[in-house]
Chain A
Amino acid sequence: MTEVLTAKPPATGGSTPADDRPAARSRRGWITALFLLPALVLLGALVVYPIGWTVVRSLFGAQGFTHFVGLSNYGSVFSDHQTLTAIKNNAIWVVVAPTIATGLGLIFAVMTERIRFATAFKLVIFMPMAISMLAAGIIFRLVYDQDPTKGVANAVAVGIHDTFSSASHYPGAHPRPINHQLTGPAAGPFTTPPLAVSSRPVNLPLVGATPDDLKGASQAAGPRSCPGGHLCGTVWMDFKPGGGTPNAIDPGEKGLSGLRVNLLSGTKVIAHATTSKDGTYTLPAPATSGPVRVQLAASNFTAPYAGVNWLGPTLVTWSIIGSYIWMWTGFAMVLIAAGLAGIPRELMEAARVDGANEWQVFRRITVPALAPVLGVVLVTLMINVLKVFDLVYIIAPGASQQSANVLALQLYLSSFGGGNNQGIGSALGLLLLVLVLPAMYVNIRRFRKENAR
């Protein structure tokens, strides 16, 4: 290159400027072309050619270029319910994720102007950007794990829930399926048939209490008769290692303590008692003479709160958007903070002097002044969000992958992941390209405007 350049000047210097103008222009054209060539070749080979190839490929079926199908791939793209879910989810993504990320970024940027340790704070917010999408996906797969001992999101949910309603004593305990003594829905309450009060104890056998719940429990007692006029009995785990005799209190079978036992007259609770350590309970004699029923309240058996089904079909997209926001808020914040530094302070000061409160300053001065930056951030994030793939692919479990589907994932799945139909994949790729174009256009126009300034 340098040789060419150093060789040229003498030649140009030898002739008069007037008659060599067209030649110089054409030579300059050549040089321009020469300089443009590498970029053109690269762009052509890496961008234009693949796009062209994709257009052509989208007109052929799964078997390859031997099988021309015309526009039918586009037809199936728009009639396939998986793709329609993907388009719907992409719409949610494009609207929600950039807006929230930019909004939070703006809040953080403005707030960090006022606090000490602003740099440290910014660093922490920005840190997730240093993590690859793949790693972030794996992290959030764990965060959203259903098991509260693994997933932090559910640990918080369960923690909050259990603060307000305490866990039951024997979740999952139930009467034997064939039990004439106790009946009721799977989760309780379990009720006896109407019975006449006598001195014979009413024993209530249960099964299915977990060994963990029975830790420290003591042998069930079986009183032979109840004190005068009282109604009594034992609630016990009618199962010992090896089985035991059904409906009989065997040695080794544990009493279930702390259970709430209700006495019902009709459907009204007229008395209640709590079982003691050996499983026995005593209810005062009912005032009514009619038949009564004994009931084990449902609150004894409620299953522990399982937390939120973050990755279930309804929430999965929102959960993944949450992880995306975690990653990209830092990006928005840093750009907006940079923009904020460029706003003339005098404007704000003047407003304050004129009696505007902070909210008015933020609303009327800061945000309008930042509008171009906010626009850039928003559009950049939108383009980024349209092609989101890794987070969805990694976080969504198989069962809800389709509910979390986005276009880029659907593109991959139909081209390589089982579908092996690159025709449909190409059609989807073009659809994605078309969707990105408006955002591109906005960005390019903005660049032009800025250059013109």
Chain B
Amino acid sequence: MKRTHTAAATLAAAALVMAATGCSSGGSASTSTGGGNAGGSDAAASLHLPNLKGQKIQVAAVWTGAEQKNFLKVTARFDQLTGASTTFVPTGDNVSTFLGSKIQGGGQPDVAFLPQPGVLQQFAKAGWLKPVDSTVKDQLAKNYTPGWRTLGAYKGTQYGVYYKAANKSLVWYNTAAWQQAGLSKAPASWADLLKDGQTLSDSGTTPFSIGGGDGWTLTDWFENIYLSQAGATKYDQLTKHQIKWTDTSVAKALTTLAQLFGKPTLMAGGARGALQTDFPTSVDQTFAKSPKAAMVFEGDFAATNIAQETTAKVGTDAKAFPFPAVGSGQAPVVSGGDVAVALKNTKGAQALLRYLASVDGAETGIKQGGFLSPNKAAPLSTYTNSVERTIAQNLISAGDGFRFDMSDQSPAAFGGTKGQGEWKDLQDFLAKPSDVAGAQRKLEADAAKAYANAG
């Protein structure tokens, strides 16, 4: 939830360079667009964006800092193409509360970015969202896989455009520690990952840094293993709580997770240390001067922490490999993302959504760096560094095999609250990985309560 956003995803130094280029293109209409990509301009022309001269469009999103600055480049490009003037409103951490009060007061922005599919559904149910028009749908049909489209729909009506994605199936590793242990290729399976972990441990570096102080990193561990091991169908059923957490597939996933959680020597600080390590620290200690661990699992946004809080360089000192397949399943791709929706039925709002769904819109975002687009038509060559490109490729090539973060789709009381529900239960599991059945019982009890309250 919060993490994807506060992690203002500036990837590498390259991002800054690109930001400068993006700035010059946004500044005046006469210069060539972005990096001089002719394809992008053609795509922009074929968008048939209306002339919105003098119109004001308000966009609200949770982004701050670099992430916000980068998005302003995108709106600047949109303004340049249409003549509109777009302004940005930061929502603060609690997007649904902010927007809810704005809507009830009648002062809602034209377009807003929602961080969870659950919020989109809640807003659509309340009748607060305006469906996208046919031109936006055309862009979506051309550029998005059905999986990403359905995430932006409620009861068959398309409301949202997934503009920004996060890939949460990555393991970042410290290349120096990796070399020291003589490892060279990314593990292809969970068994290999554990074996490499043992090798790292033998070499004298603790293999895994786990940010167990934040419950959500643990839910992401579970989700990746579960998606790969139990498959997408079961994943969807568990997401909707159509199967219980006491299901054998959950037991299997937790047992698999216990192969790691049950070995204190594989985790920096042991289970006790892991439970007091929050996510930023888990990244920092992996890429610190004398690293406390060799690998840290989390999404692409970990790159921001690496770039901002350590001296390690993404791409040379820090690299990432995709989360390996577990058992006989496929390698999992768990994603997150922000969906743009129209809160007002204006021409400008629809035009902006159309632009965001377009290839040009995606490219402009990608060029700023620290940005992952679910737009399958945006060429991967647009990514400015190889790490970002690999992450994007991993996401795009998953097609519709990807699944959205499960905890982000569950009721907040279960999947999104510190010290409660799934977060707390998995923390307890980390403290006592031998008790799979007990963890399942607690998860089921909390899930049953939260889903019942959410109706």
Residues of A within 8 A of B (CB): 62-63, 145-147, 172, 174, 176-177, 186, 207-214, 237, 239, 241-243, 306, 309, 311-312, 396-399, 401-402, 413, 417-421
Contact = CB atoms under 8 A, between A and B. Distances in A.
Q: Which of A242, A417, A418 lies at the interface centre, i.e. has the most chain B CB atoms within 10 A of its CB?
A: A418
Contact of B276 (A62, A239, A242, A397): A397
B312 interface: no
B340 to A, nearest CB: 25
B450 to A, nearest CB: 8
Contact of A399 (B205, B270, B431, B453): B431
Interface stretch (B106-114, B373-381, B417-425, B433-441): B417-425
Interface secondary structure of A, over-half rule: loop
Interface stretch (B128-136, B196-204, B350-358): B196-204
B420 A413 contact: yes
Contacts of B427: 398-399
Contacts of B418: 398, 401, 417
Interface string B400-420: 000000000000110011111
A239 B275 contact: no
Given A172-B265, A242-B182, A399 B275 contact: yes
B214 A398 contact: yes
A207 B273 contact: no
Contacts of A402: 419-420, 424
Interface in B128-166: none
For this complex, into which size category does the number of interface residues on chain B fall? 35 or more
Given A207-B203, A210-B204, A399-B275, A241 B417 contact: no
A177 to B, nearest CB: 7
Interface in B199-231: 199, 201-205, 212-215
Given A186-B265, A399-B212, A241 B204 contact: no
Q: Which of B205, B215, B419 lies at the interface centre, i.e. has the most chain A CB atoms within 10 A of its CB?
A: B419
A417 B423 CA distance: 13
- Top 8 closest pairs, chain A to chain B, by CB: A418-B417, A401-B419, A243-B182, A207-B202, A242-B182, A399-B427, A418-B413, A210-B204
Contacts of A214: 204
Q: Which of A208, A214, A243, A399 lies at the interface centre, i.e. has the most chain B CB atoms within 10 A of its CB?
A: A399
B202 A176 contact: yes
Contacts of A172: 204, 265
A177 B198 contact: yes
A202 B340 CA distance: 69
Contacts of A63: 455
A180 B257 CA distance: 28
A243 B276 contact: no
A216 B214 CA distance: 38
Contacts of B428: 399
21 contacts: A146-B276, A208-B201, A209-B204, A210-B204, A211-B180, A211-B204, A214-B204, A237-B204, A239-B202, A243-B181, A243-B203, A312-B272, A396-B419, A397-B276, A398-B213, A399-B430, A413-B417, A417-B418, A418-B417, A419-B453, A420-B412
Contacts of A207: 201-204
A236 B63 CA distance: 53
Q: Which of B204, B272, B420, B455 lies at the interface centre, i.e. has the most chain A CB atoms within 10 A of its CB?
A: B204
A242 B204 CA distance: 12
B290 interface: yes
B213 A399 contact: yes
A396 B431 CA distance: 16
Nearest to B180: A241
Interface of B: 179-182, 198-199, 201-205, 212-215, 265, 269-270, 272-273, 275-276, 290, 412-413, 416-421, 423-424, 427-428, 430-431, 453, 455
Given A243-B182, A398-B419, A399-B212, A419 B413 contact: yes
A241 B419 contact: no
B26 to A, nearest CB: 40
A398 B418 CA distance: 5
Contacts, number: 106
A434 to B, nearest CB: 25
Contacts of B423: 398
Interface secondary structure of B, over-half rule: helix
Contacts of A212: 290
Contacts of B275: 397, 399
Contacts of A210: 204-205
Contacts of A211: 180, 204-205
B265 to A, nearest CB: 7
A278 B419 CA distance: 51
Given A62-B453, A211-B180, A145 B276 contact: yes
Nearest to B421: A418
A418 B270 CA distance: 29
Given A242-B182, A397-B276, A417 B417 contact: yes
Nearest to A396: B419
Given A146-B276, A177-B198, A402-B419, 10 more contacts: A207-B203, A211-B204, A306-B270, A309-B272, A312-B272, A396-B419, A401-B419, A401-B420, A413-B420, A418-B421
A421 B290 CA distance: 47
A398 B215 contact: yes
Contacts of A239: 202-204
Contacts of B431: 399
A259 to B, nearest CB: 16
B420 A418 contact: yes
Nearest to B201: A208
B215 A306 contact: no
A146 B271 CA distance: 12
A127 B94 CA distance: 35
Contacts of B201: 207-208
A43 B138 CA distance: 60
B273 A146 contact: yes
Nearest to B412: A418
Given A309-B272, A418-B416, A418-B417, A398 B202 contact: no
A144 to B, nearest CB: 9
A147 B276 CA distance: 9
B292 to A, nearest CB: 10
B420 A241 contact: no
Contacts of A174: 265
Contacts of B276: 145-146, 311, 397, 399
A137 to B, nearest CB: 14
Nearest to A212: B290
Contacts of B270: 306
A241 B413 contact: no
Given A207-B202, A239-B202, A421 B417 contact: no
A306 B271 CA distance: 12
Nearest to B418: A398
Contacts of B198: 177
Nearest to A399: B427
A412 to B, nearest CB: 11
A243 B181 CA distance: 6
Nearest to B275: A399
Contacts of B419: 396, 398-399, 401-402, 413
Nearest to A170: B204
A449 to B, nearest CB: 44
Contacts of A397: 213, 275-276
A78 to B, nearest CB: 16
Contacts of A312: 272
Contacts of B455: 63
B182 A241 contact: yes
A19 to B, nearest CB: 59
Q: Which of B205, B427, B430 lies at the interface centre, i.e. has the most chain A CB atoms within 10 A of its CB?
A: B427
A373 B302 CA distance: 56
A171 to B, nearest CB: 11
B344 to A, nearest CB: 26
A429 B431 CA distance: 33
B204 A421 contact: no
Contacts of B205: 210-211
